[in-house]
Amino acid sequence: MEILFKKESYQIIGACFEVYKDKGSGFLESVYQECLALEFAARGIPFRERPELTLEYKGQALRQTYEPDFICYDDIIVEIKAAKQLAAEHRAQMGLLINFGHYPKLEHERFVNQKGYYEPRE
């Protein structure tokens, strides 16, 4: 299976490693969110922070919306966590899942838009 957005994903993960190298684990998600926005901007990674996305059900727009932490390159959803370890409910999302709370190193997983498929990485 070909990895979509491979180069872009590596650039995003590289930015996450840089934030983790500086901050380590132990902060709230909001701290990592702010740091990551600064790092994305410094690296020229195009991103939107907490965009409100519309949802549909059988072609009808829902009142409920979804706000991922970031959308990078207009195509890659980036969700960040600050948990001791990732849990099943975290993995229900698509895109890149980054966990800054994991020690001794950053934890990340890549999910593709295919039911039940993900690529765990540590």
What is the span of the domain harbouring residue 59? 6-121
| Token duo for residue 32 | 């990592």
Residue 17 has pLDDT above 80, yes or no: yes
Q: Please give the pLDDT value at position 63.
A: 96
Q: Is residue 1 situated within a structural domain?
A: no
For residue range 33-91, what is the model confidence (pLDDT) as tens digits?
A: 999 999 999 999 999 999 999 999 999 999 999 899 999 999 999 999 988 876 655 55
Residue 105 has pLDDT above 50, yes or no: yes
Answer positive or negative: Cα dihedral of 89, 91, 93, 98: positive
What is the DSSP secondary structure assignment for residue 59, as one 8-state letter? T
Q: Is residue 105 situated within a structural domain?
A: yes
Q: Please give the pLDDT value at position 68.
A: 92
Q: Is residue 59 situated within a structural domain?
A: yes
Residue 20 has pLDDT above 70, yes or no: yes
| 2-11, 15-24, 62-71, 72-81: range with lowest mean pLDDT | 2-11
Q: Please give the pLDDT value at position 98.
A: 87
Q: Please give the pLDDT value at position 85.
A: 72
Residue that has been written with the tokens 């899942």 in this structure: 97
Say how many domains are in the chain: 1
Q: Is residue 30 situated within a structural domain?
A: yes
| Token duo for residue 118 | 């993900």
Q: Is residue 27 situated within a structural domain?
A: yes
Q: Is residue 83 situated within a structural domain?
A: yes
CB 21 within 8 A of CB 45: no
Q: Name the burial class of residue 99, with classes exposed (0-12), middle (13-18) and buried (19+) by CB atoms within 10 angstroms of its CB.
A: buried
